[in-house]
Amino acid sequence: MDEYRFLSRRGFNLFVKGLAGEYRVYGPVRKDGIPTLSRILEPVEPILTPVHISFRGFLLPPREVILRFNIKEERYIPIVEAEDQVLLGVHPCDIHAIRLLDKVFSYGTPDRNYMERRKKTIIIGMDCMPDEHCFCMSVNTMEVASGFDLFLHVIEGGFLVRTGTERGAELLSRHASTQPAKKKDIRGLEEFRQKKERAFITRLEAEPDALPLIYAGAYFNDIWERKGEICYGCGSCNHVCPTCYCFDVRDKVSGDLSEGERCRVWDGCMLEDFAKVAGGHNFRKKRSQRLRHRFLRKFQYQRDRFGGLFCVGCGRCIRTCLVGINIAEVTNEIIRSEEKR
């Protein structure tokens, strides 16, 4: 499945046009000069720069109805809404993030809504170039070997296409005309990789495998109080993170109390009410506590359960934070302080 095929720019445009005629296609587009995610109805210029929001919402919507019920008739109907869709231009860090979400929602009793949506989703990855906030190379998510149906490597004159699944191979043969890759095309892959490595400005000062233990020793680090004093607790970091998956479940009942629907909505550990329980007790009342919890979830807690860091180095939380809390800078400060102990 690792054979490379050459796809020209014109061939790419025809490929996208064919996909859009068969599926709902979503991917990066520019709106007011800012890269964002939107439905694609016609060929677009590939965007290699980071996109400020993640693909998570196409697999775990911000709000979805999961149950409708009739109280008088004592009847309920589970709702599973999933449609065939293509996620186009998914960068390597986001493919890693989706693989982590797959582990979460298949853990124990699989989440039917997520799994049905995931089963109907085709993932077409694409190379990217980092900005000053990306640090995916430091957490081993700069490249990806699986988790996609097709992957497009950018080279001069077009793309080298790598097939990840039989579904991807069939899709490529149906909508695109490709040619065997030439030796100069393969050399272009290494040239792009070297260019990408040189472009990184932000780096972590420890190996990924060392980070869980480093964070385990940082529970009482004074950095949490210092950063907690400036944190707004707005939840912007939760909103843009590709691996945050927490949600709340809410019931909306009709005025006559005869029927209603149950919805799942995104929630976030940085929000004040997230850890509030019956009686008004909040076991993470302070922003410093919530900030610490979020960081440890990314670098320690989830690694212990799912076998991987839940920070993929996309830099979205850095770009989004209103007060400039930088997850890479915080991590490096923790690394240095732990080395001195």
Listed residue (9, 61, 341, 11) closest to 176, CA to CA: 11
The residue-averaged pLDDT of 85-112 equals 97
Q: How many residues does the chain have?
A: 341
Q: Do 138 and 173 share a domain, yes or no?
A: yes
What b/e sequence results for 18-36 when a residue is b if at least 16 CB atoms lie within 10 Å of its CB, and e otherwise?
ebbeebebbbbbeeeeebe
Look at the alpha carbons of 20, 163, 170, 58 in this order and tell me if their dihedral is positive or negative: negative
Listed residue (1, 3, 324, 5) closest to 181, CA to CA: 5
For the segment 167-212, what is each residue's pLDDT rounded down to a tens digit?
999 999 999 989 998 888 888 888 999 999 999 999 999 999 999 9
Q: Do 18 and 90 share a domain, yes or no?
A: yes
Q: Do 327 and 216 share a domain, yes or no?
A: yes
Q: Do 212 and 194 share a domain, yes or no?
A: no
Q: Do 171 and 259 share a domain, yes or no?
A: no
Q: How far is CA 239 from CA 1, 38, 266, 291, in A?
A: 35, 17, 8, 14
pLDDT bucket at 2, cuts 50 / 70 / 90: low
pTM of the model: 0.95
Report the run of H or E that residue 336 belongs to, with start and end.
helix 327-340
Q: Do 25 and 168 share a domain, yes or no?
A: yes
Helical segments of 53-180, H only? 92-106, 112-119, 166-175
Q: Residues of the chain with pLDDT > 70: what percent? A: 99
**Phi and psi at residue 86, in whole multiples of 5°?**
-120, 130
Counting the structural domains of the chain, the total is 2
Domain that holds residue 170: 4-199
Q: Do 81 and 58 share a domain, yes or no?
A: yes
The distance of Cα 20 from the centroid of its chain, to the nearest Å, equals: 23
